[in-house]
Amino acid sequence: MLAGALALQGDFREHLAIMESLGHRGIEVRTIEELERVDLLLIPGGESTTIGRLATEYDLIEPLRERITEGLPVFGTCAGLIFLAAATTGADQPQLGVLDVVVARNAFGRQVDSFETDLPVAGLDRPVRAVFIRAPWIEKVGSNVETLASVPGPGGTARAVLVRQGTVLAASFHPELTEDDRLHRMAAAMVGDS
């Protein structure tokens, strides 16, 4: 299996290192030709407005949308989740709209810009160590989107932080910055599911 990481900005190298440690080949994706070759696409954490702006400049928005809609499995983390989503509350920025969720950026507020927690995940026997860095959370989840993990939000309402819609998997935290490779294994297991 060839794993590609969208390499416009952000921590794409960390994603590729995990895929390689799992025995998969990895390439950095910046062109339509590279996008055509991969069996799985990772969209890293970083700055979603920058990723969106560069993807627009590199003419990658439509090709990404098309390939993902046609079933290319994709795993986005943090800024990657925002880029995959349908909309962002209170802002307009380039997004792929292939994941039926509305996200709120930097949702955890300044005082807890970054934190770590043990997060129970549906289908995994032990919690994952989740690293949140100026993270978004998901405000609205479409009916065809499965919530795999959530955290308590304001007023006690749970906010989704790990979701899956078909072969689109997205986390508002950074599994690529930990030793725990179970979510990358989950992403790799989507290859062949579409």
Among 46, 73, 76, 166, binds ligand GLN (CB under 6 A): 46
DSSP, collapsed to helix, strand or coil, labels residue 101 as strand
Check if 78 is active-site: yes
Mark whether 47 is an active-site residue: no
Q: Is there a catalytic annotation at residue 174?
A: yes
Going from the C-alpha of 18 to that of each of 22, 74, 154, 170, the distances in angstroms are 6, 15, 34, 16
Give the bridge partners for 137, in sequence order.
104
CB distance 86 to 100 below 8 Å: yes
Stretch that binds ligand GLN, among 24-32, 44-52, 60-68, 139-147 (CB under 6 A): 44-52
Kindly tell me which residue out of 35, 82, 96, 121 binds ligand GLN, with binding defined by CB under 6 A: 82
Check if the beta carbon of residue 41 is closer than 8 Å to that of residue 72. Answer: yes
Q: Footprint of ligand GLN on residues 96-155 (CB under 6 A)?
A: 105-106, 133-134
Beta-carbon contacts of residue 124 (< 8 Å; ≥ 6 apart): 182
Which of 78/138 has CB closer to ligand GLN? 78
Query: Applying CB under 6 A, does 9 fall inside the site for ligand GLN?
Result: no
Listed ranges 31-39, 41-49, 60-68, 120-128: which one lies at the site for ligand GLN (CB under 6 A): 41-49
For the bound state, the minimum distance from the C-beta of residue 76 to ligand GLN, rounded and expressed in Å, comes to 10
Closer to ligand GLN by Cβ: residue 24 or 53: 53
> Please, which of residues 86-105 interact with ligand GLN by CB under 6 A?
105
Non-local (6+) Cβ contacts of 183 within 8 A are 75, 121, 128, 162, 169, 171, 175
CB neighbour class for 194 (10 Å; exposed up to 12, middle 13-18, buried from 19): exposed
What amino acid positions are annotated as catalytic residues?
A: 78, 174, 176
Q: Which residues of the shown chain bind ligand GLN in the complex (CB under 6 A)?
A: 45-48, 78-79, 82, 105-106, 133-134
